[in-house]
Structure 1
Amino acid sequence: MSIANQKGGVGKTTTAVNLGAALAAMGQRVCLIDLDSQRNLSHTVEVDGHGNRSIADLIYNHVSGIDYDPEQWLLHNEREHLDYVQASTMLATAPSILATSDNSSLVLSEILHSPVFAGYDYILIDCRPALDLLAVNALAASDAVVIPVEPESYAVDGLADLFASIERTRKTVNPQLRVNGILVTRADSRRKLTHQMITDLREVFGTQVYNTVIPYLADAAKAASEQHSAVTINGSRLGNAYLELAKEVVAR
C-alpha cells in the first residue's frame, strides 16, 4: 500500500507509522518502506545500531544488475513489532537512476515482489510529496493507495493530479491498483471549516472517504520526537484513531 499525496504536510509519515503499528497490534506482519529522502519515517522507527543500507541502495543495485540479498536491508523495531527499510538522502537522485532502467516504472515492484517480502501481510510505502518517477514506482508496486488529506479549502482540487496519476498507472503498468480510501487527517473539530470540508469530501468521493477521521493532536509530534508511534501511548486519542483506521483498511 502506498501512502501518497503530492502535497506535503498532510500526515503521510504519521499515517504510515501509526497505521503500520496499529496493523501490527492486530497481529498482522508489517513492513514499512521509507521512500522519502527526508527520512522522517526512518527517524521515527529507527533503532540504534542499525546499518546504513537504504532503499536507495536497493534501487541502485537492482537497476545496475548488482547481486544483493534484500533480507540484509530489513530492519526490525521490537517496540512496534514491525520491520522497515530505511531511507537515505540519496533517494533524491533515485528518479534519475530509475530513468536508466528499461523497466523504469517497475523497479520497486520487482524488488518488493522478491520472496523475502512475500511473508508480510502489509507493506506500507511512505511516499514523498511528489508525482515523479519514484512515486510512479510506488504506485506500480502497490495493490492499493491510502490518501491522507487535510480538511482545507483546496483538499478536493488537490487530489485531481494524484487520481490522474493513479489512473495512468492502472492503465499502463498496474491494472490491479485501487484506492483503499481517503483519510482526513489533522482535523481540528473546533473549526467550522473542518466540518464543511469533510462534508464536501464525502459528497465528492462518497464511501472512498474513511469513516475514521484523524484528529489534530500534539500526540503526533510528541510520539515522533520520542521515536515511537502514538499507538504505543496508553489512552492516546490519536493512537486509538489509527487502530480504528486499521480495522477499516483490513475490512476493505
Structure 2
Amino acid sequence: MVMTRDALLNQKGGVAKTTTTLHLGGTLAAHGRKTLLVDLDGQGNLTTALKLDRLNPREGLTLARAMLEGCDRAGARSLVRRHSENLYVIPSALDLFTLPRNLHSKRSSEERLTWVLELLEEDGFDHCLVDCRPALDVDTDNVLRWASHVLIPVDVDEFSIEALELLLAQVQTLAAETRMPQPHYRGLVINRIDRPFSGFHQKVYDAIHALPLPVVGEIPLRTAVAEAKNRGQTIAQYEPRSDVARMFRDLAVKAGYLPETTP
C-alpha cells in the first residue's frame, strides 16, 4: 500500500483541526494502519495532546531544521517518535514559529517538506496526516505541494465559509504557479456540533452543506474527547465503543481511508 499524503488545513483557528488529526489518526492506527502524524504548528497542540516532548532545536534535528538545511534518511527517521501501536508522530518544536520567515529566502521554498517526508515513504507507513497551523503562508504552500489529499475541518461559524474560500483560492494559485496537480479534496469535517442549533447556526450549517465540497464527517461536542486528550490518548484508545469513536470511524470510511466494511 502506498502511503497516503494528507493535509488537514484551515487558516481559521478554533475549528478542531488538531483534534481531527489526532482522533482520525488514532482511528486508522486502531484498524491496523501504520500512521504518521506530523505536528507542523509551533504551538505544538498535537504533540502535547499525546504527552510527547517537543523536539529541542538546541539538542538535535527538528522538522524545521530538516526543511531549511536538508537531511538524509537517518535524519528524517530521527524525527519520528512512537506513541503507541501503529501510531507515530513527528513532534513540534519552537523553531517552527520562525520557519515561514526563514523559508522565504530558500531555493525551492515550497518543496522543503516534500524533501523530508519522502525520505520516510519506505518505512511502511500507510498514512501520513499533517496538522497545519492556522495560516496561509509558505509552510502551507509546502504542505499543499506535498499532499495528495486535503481534509478541511470547519465549525458552524459565519467565518468558516469565508476562510474556506480563501483556502481554495490559495490552492488554485499555487497549482497554477508551480504547475502541480491540485490535491484531491476528501471533503469537510464539521466539528464541535452542539445541538439544538440557533436559527443563525442552522443557516451556517445549511450553507456548509450547500458548498461544492462534500461533508464527510460531523463530530459533536463530547467530554470524552477532552478526557482522552488529558490522558494522552486518542478516542479509539480511551473509549473505543463511544458514539464519538464511531463517528471518527464513519469519517475514516466516508473520506476514503478505510473500506466501507469497517466494523
TM-score when normalising by structure 1:
0.89
Which of the residues 25, 36, 42 maps onto 2:41?
Answer: 36
**Paired residues of 1:37 and 1:90 also in contact (CA < 8 A):** yes
Deviating more after overlay: 63-72 vs 184-193: 63-72
Tell me by how many angstroms 1:115 deviates.
4.5
Tell me by how many angstroms 1:56 deviates.
7.5
**Paired residues of 2:171 and 2:182 also in contact (CA < 8 A):** no
Q: Secondary structure at the match of 1:205?
A: coil
Q: Secondary structure at the match of 1:114?
A: helix
Q: Secondary structure at the match of 1:69?
A: helix
TM-score when normalising by structure 2:
0.85
Q: Secondary structure at the match of 1:250?
A: coil
1:49-81 per-residue CA deviation (whole Å, 9 max, x = no partner) reads x964799823323432465521111111116x3
Q: Which residue matches 2:254?
A: 248
1:69 lines up with 2:63 in the alignment: no
In structure 2, distance between residues paired with 1:56 and 1:248: 37
1:175 lines up with 2:178 in the alignment: no
Counterpart of 1:245 in structure 2: which amino acid? L
Q: Secondary structure at the match of 1:204?
A: coil
1:203 lines up with 2:210 in the alignment: yes
Map 1:32-181 onto structure 2 (within 5 A).
Answer: 32-47=37-52, 52=56, 57-65=62-70, 69-78=75-84, 81-116=86-121, 119-173=124-178, 174-181=180-187
Tell me by how many angstroms 1:149 deviates.
0.6
In structure 2, distance between residues paired with 1:47 and 1:87: 9
Aligned residues: 248
**Paired residues of 1:55 and 1:86 also in contact (CA < 8 A):** no
Q: Secondary structure at the match of 2:245?
A: helix
Tell me by how many angstroms 1:181 deviates.
0.7
Question: Can you give the 5+ residue segments of structure 1 that lack an aligned partner in the other structure?
Answer: none
**Paired residues of 1:4 and 1:148 also in contact (CA < 8 A):** yes
In structure 2, distance between residues paired with 1:94 and 1:251: 30
Relative to structure 1, is the Cα distance of residues 164 and 90 closer, same or farther in structure 2, using a 3 angstrom cutoff? same
Q: Percent of aligned positions with the same letter in both sequences?
A: 27
In structure 1, distance between residues paired with 2:23 and 2:187: 16
Counterpart of 1:196 in structure 2: which amino acid? K
Q: Which residue matches 1:22?
A: 27
Relative to structure 1, is the Cα distance of residues 176 and 119 closer, same or farther in structure 2, using a 3 angstrom cutoff? farther
Q: Secondary structure at the match of 1:185?
A: strand
Q: Secondary structure at the match of 2:248?
A: helix
Relative to structure 1, is the Cα distance of residues 28 and 55 closer, same or farther in structure 2, using a 3 angstrom cutoff? farther
Counterpart of 2:250 in structure 1: which amino acid? E
Q: Which residue matches 2:193?
A: 187
Relative to structure 1, is the Cα distance of residues 152 and 133 closer, same or farther in structure 2, using a 3 angstrom cutoff? same
In structure 2, distance between residues paired with 1:13 and 1:130: 14
Relative to structure 1, is the Cα distance of residues 11 and 117 closer, same or farther in structure 2, using a 3 angstrom cutoff? farther
Counterpart of 1:197 in structure 2: which amino acid? V
